[in-house]
Amino acid sequence: MTDLLVLGSGIAGLSAAIRAAEAGLGVTVLTKGALANTATSYAQGGVAAALGEPDSPALHRSDTLVAGVGLCDADAVDVLVEQGPDRVRELIALGANFDRAAIDGELELAREGGHSLARVVHAGGDATGAEIERALVAAMGRLEVDARERWFTVDLLVEGGAVVGVEAIAPDGSAHRIRARHVLLATGGAGQLFAVTTNPPVSTGDGIAMAYRAGAALADVEFMQFHPTALDVAAMPRPLLSEALRGDGAILRDERGVAFMAGEHPLADLAPRDVVARAITRRLVERNLSHLFLDATPIEDFATRFPTVDGAARAAGLDPAVDLLPIAPAAHYLSGGVCTDLDGATTIPGLWACGEVACSGVHGANRLASNSLLDGLVFAPRAVEAILDGRDGPLERGVLRGVLGRSGAPSAPITTVSSIGRATLQRAMTAGAGVLRDASSLGVLDATLPHDVAASTPAEHEVRNLVTVARTLVAAALARTESRGTHTRLDHPEPDPAFRSRLVQVRGAEPFLAPLPLPVETP
Ligand SMILES: Cc1cc2nc3c(=O)[nH]c(=O)nc-3n(C[C@H](O)[C@H](O)[C@H](O)COP(=O)(O)OP(=O)(O)OC[C@H]3O[C@@H](n4cnc5c(N)ncnc54)[C@H](O)[C@@H]3O)c2cc1C
């Protein structure tokens, strides 16, 4: 039996595997594709961390809380911003090469939306995630880790109220039960819920669905962040036009060439993502357009600074130095997920979660740009430290206060199953639960989405998991009758103080509000 079974090989999973193997634990990693087939590899802009003067963890904290619109767990944010700089330095020591200034060799820092100053380290210009993934895979290769590619985890094994392993499908299609003292979910997000997304095909919410089926609590699943500026071309996933472009001077323009963000927010083009995504979507809907434009012509040396974006634009026949780039919002990052304490413990003993699959409360109602790589980097080793300290379950603090007593045993499997194709589900979710939602659009989904679908192959299990996560997202979005952060209800356009709480879901129960552990500063 392995000590730690890590599910997923992105920044969260590999950071945990490396820390655990260094500490002498027996580690197995299962990942459903090739090791580098992760959302992490796609990350462009970089990692946010207060690495030195004039920046500080306090400034990073305040930007994160503002972006989270009153729903961040302040304790979790403190952990993120205070431990982030050391984790970034360790990543550099491990071999990740971030961009440095030619003159003095200092790390180059970029500014992104919602950040009050430049604090984002990047690599290869806008190829940060690929460099981090490369460095982590190489570091893991130097350690004793049983890393298995193309192993699809189907479900968690629960015995006596604790998670004791997983059911998985091997590359040859055979079914296996793998037992472990601890299981760590690092399975990433669920952008594939929507027809237009920046997320790779692996981002199907498997970990969230597995945890939910096993009886773990989920939180804040209604907060899907839509990135405002995905290149509007036929490719899927949609090429992302990183926020760092606007940090370097790119400007959003409408179909008449008017720069409109100054009238929407004091930070204009560098406003938080939810504000920008709404401003764009409203114009698209009102004017019946498929896209607006990002004007990146003010950026000098575009191809050197943003080689990934330059390549994507040129593949579409566009030259960012002279052409306006067509953009539209795309599903990008799930702020909610499997509810954890500050050490990645879920509500079920033996089950841990970190990275995008988890909801520790750091992101609140809206993730601050470049805080998600940092999230995996900071919280994954904390889970390992908690395991090394002998813990096997949650502490009643952080986001789990008010949640633990409510989480139940896994309920009986749903027996009525139907079928739905991935593309049909994605179109329905985009129409009913996209950037702008209301009771009627969500009600259609609630009435028409299947409750469960039959599955035997990995591809079918992915659709089944998407259906499960779609249902939890719709239930939460219906229950949260307010607009806050990335959750915009056209029929409830204002934030409601009564909803300044985490919205928790446990299988077999109605969504309920759990108080945040500390009063959070009003942004
Ligand atoms: C285009 C793009 C650009 C981004 N840019 C940035 C950025 O600049 N800065 C930033 O901070 N964030 C960025 N993000 C977000 C960030 O990349 C992700 O939030 C983060 O990488 C998630 O890391 P993770 O380890 O949690 O999950 P992932 O990196 O997605 O890894 C999940 C892993 O789990 C595996 N898996 C899933 N289900 C199963 C299963 N059933 N069985 C076995 N394995 C499974 C997958 O194969 C994969 O290996 C970006 C995201 C995208 C898509």
Question: According to the model, what pLDDT value does residue 230 have?
Answer: 95
Helix (H) or strand (E) holding 255: none
pLDDT level of residue 187 (50, 70, 90 thresholds): very high
pLDDT level of residue 413 (50, 70, 90 thresholds): low
- What are the structure tokens assigned to 143, written together? 């350690």
189 Cα to the center of ligand 1, angstroms: 6
Report angle CA 485, 487, 491 to the nearest 5 degrees.
Answer: 120
| Residue nearest atom 11 in ligand 1 by C-alpha distance | 370
Alpha-helical segments (H) within 68-227: 74-94, 128-141, 206-214
Number of H helices, E strands in the chain: 13, 21
pLDDT for residue 217 is more than 50: yes
Question: According to the model, what pLDDT value does residue 281 have?
Answer: 95
Q: Whose structure tokens read 């999973």?
A: 13
pLDDT for residue 461 is more than 70: yes
pLDDT for residue 156 is more than 60: yes
pLDDT level of residue 18 (50, 70, 90 thresholds): very high
What residues have CB less than 8 Å from 102, skipping those under 6 apart? none
Helix axes 128-141, 74-94, angle to 10 degrees: 70
Pocket test of ligand 1: the residue of 373, 374, 457, 463 to mutate, having most ligand atoms within 8 Å of its CB, is 373
| Residue nearest atom 10 in ligand 1 by C-alpha distance | 370
Atom of ligand 1 nearest to the CA of 14: 25
Helix (H) or strand (E) holding 476: helix 458-479
Report angle CA 501, 70, 327 to the nearest 5 degrees.
Answer: 110
Question: According to the model, what pLDDT value does residue 405 have?
Answer: 66
Question: According to the model, what pLDDT value does residue 112 have?
Answer: 84
Q: What is d(CA 258, CA 353) in angstroms, rounded to the nearest whole number?
A: 44
What residues have CB less than 8 Å from 171, skipping those under 6 apart? 149, 150, 151
Q: Which residue type sits at 519?
A: P
238 belongs to the catalytic site: no
Question: According to the model, what pLDDT value does residue 253 have?
Answer: 98
Pocket test of ligand 1: the residue of 42, 109, 338 to mutate, having most ligand atoms within 8 Å of its CB, is 42
pLDDT for residue 414 is more than 80: no
376 Cα to the center of ligand 1, angstroms: 9
Between 520 and 438, whose confidence is greater? 438
Q: What is d(CA 214, CA 200) in angstroms, rounded to the nearest whole number?
A: 26
Q: What is d(CA 10, CA 133) in angstroms, rounded to the nearest whole number?
A: 7
pLDDT level of residue 207 (50, 70, 90 thresholds): very high
Question: According to the model, what pLDDT value does residue 395 have?
Answer: 74
40 Cα to the center of ligand 1, angstroms: 4
pLDDT for residue 416 is more than 80: no
Q: What mean pLDDT do residues 425-443 have?
A: 96
Q: Whose structure tokens read 């929507």?
A: 194
Q: Is 49 left (phi over 0), alpha (psi -120 to 50) or beta?
A: beta
CB 290 within 8 A of CB 219: no
Q: C-alpha distances in angstroms, 358 versus 84, 176, 215, 221?
A: 17, 25, 15, 10
- What are the structure tokens assigned to 388, written together? 């090394």
Q: Which of 37, 163, 18 is nearest to 87 (CA)?
A: 18
pLDDT for residue 160 is more than 50: yes
39 Cα to the center of ligand 1, angstroms: 3
Question: According to the model, what pLDDT value does residue 20 have?
Answer: 98
| Residue nearest atom 6 in ligand 1 by C-alpha distance | 43
pLDDT for residue 338 is more than 70: yes
Q: Ligand 1 — pocket residues by CB below 6 A?
A: 7-13, 30-33, 37-40, 42-47, 128-129, 152-153, 186-189, 198-199, 202-203, 206, 240, 333, 355-357, 370-373, 376
Question: According to the model, what pLDDT value does residue 520 have?
Answer: 46
- What are the structure tokens assigned to 413, written together? 């499997």
What residues have CB less than 8 Å from 122, skipping those under 6 apart? 44, 45, 46, 47, 98, 99, 108, 110, 128, 244
Question: According to the model, what pLDDT value does residue 437 have?
Answer: 96
Range with lowest mean pLDDT among 66-75, 93-102, 293-302, 508-517: 508-517
HEC sequence for 55-88: CCHHHHHHHHHHHCCCCCCHHHHHHHHHHHHHHH
Instruction: Look over the chain and give the mean of its residue pLDDT values, rounded to a whole number.
Output: 93
Measured in degrees and rounded to the nearest 5, phi and psi for residue 421 equal -85, 155
pLDDT level of residue 406 (50, 70, 90 thresholds): low
Q: Whose structure tokens read 């027809």?
A: 195
| Catalytic pick among 238, 253, 273, 480 | 273
Question: According to the model, what pLDDT value does residue 412 have?
Answer: 52
pLDDT for residue 484 is more than 80: yes
Q: What is d(CA 467, CA 281) in angstroms, rounded to the nearest whole number?
A: 25
pLDDT for residue 522 is more than 50: no
- pLDDT, tens digit, 9 for 90 and up, residues 233-264: 988 899 999 888 998 899 999 999 999 999 99
Q: What is d(CA 188, CA 42) in angstroms, rounded to the nearest whole number?
A: 12
| Residue nearest atom 31 in ligand 1 by C-alpha distance | 10
Q: Considering just the CA atoms, what is the radius of gyration of the chain in Å?
A: 21
- Per this entry, what is the length of the chain? 523
pLDDT for residue 517 is more than 70: no
The DSSP secondary structure of 159-219, one letter per residue, reads: ETTEEEEEEEE-TTS-EEEEEEEEEEE-----GGGSSSBSS-TT-S-HHHHHHHHHT--EE
CB 119 within 8 A of CB 247: no
Pocket test of ligand 1: the residue of 131, 202, 374, 468 to mutate, having most ligand atoms within 8 Å of its CB, is 202
